[in-house]
Amino acid sequence: MTTKTVRLIAFIALLVHGIGHFQGVAGGLGIRINNSAPAQSWVLKSFDAGFNRIICLVIFFITGALGVLAALSFKGVIMANAWQSLAAFTAILSTICLVTFPNGFAMFFNKAGAILVNLFIYYSIVLNQNWPEVLFNE
């Protein structure tokens, strides 16, 4: 695979990861995509549904926006040097979303995709302590 191809795949993965979190925003707005209650958190079950919806809306919106910003930063459109930090922060918030609101995503495929992108980001930062070199080549 060429460097351009790998960079394109990384850009698309970061972008889709961010956009995918807007499903939770829809849940926070009260839109049901499937039969589950997307904005009901098992952690916040002692609070009313309105509070759960607000938290769901806010956390998924921030995660989605940061994910899109990470992709745009990776591509050099905005804040070209910030994409690694944005991607790491997105992965942390994404994990919080997945744990706190497990029904925030429409399908299992969406959850699996978010988990895979998060794991790649965690691996790159924590275990490898470096992003794959090919992501920095033009």
| Confidence (pTM) | 0.83
Q: Which domain covers residue 19, as residue numbers?
A: 3-30+39-132
Per-residue pLDDT, 39: 76
137 part of a folded domain: no
Contact present, 44 and 89 (Cβ < 8 Å): no
Tell me if 126 is assigned to some domain: yes
Per-residue pLDDT tens digits for 3-20: 788 788 889 999 999 998
What is the pLDDT, as a whole number, of residue 130? 65
The answer to whether residue 76 is domain-embedded is yes
82-89: long-range contacts, CB 8 A cutoff, minimum separation 24: 83/14, 84/125, 84/131, 87/14, 87/121, 88/121, 88/125
Which pLDDT does position 137 carry in this prediction? 59
Inside any domain, residue 138: no
Domain tally, the chain: 1
106 token code pair: 């429409």
16 assigned to some structural domain: yes
pLDDT digits over 57-95, tens only? Answer: 999 999 999 999 999 998 889 887 888 889 999 999 999
6 or 96, which is more confident: 96
In a domain, 95, yes or no: yes
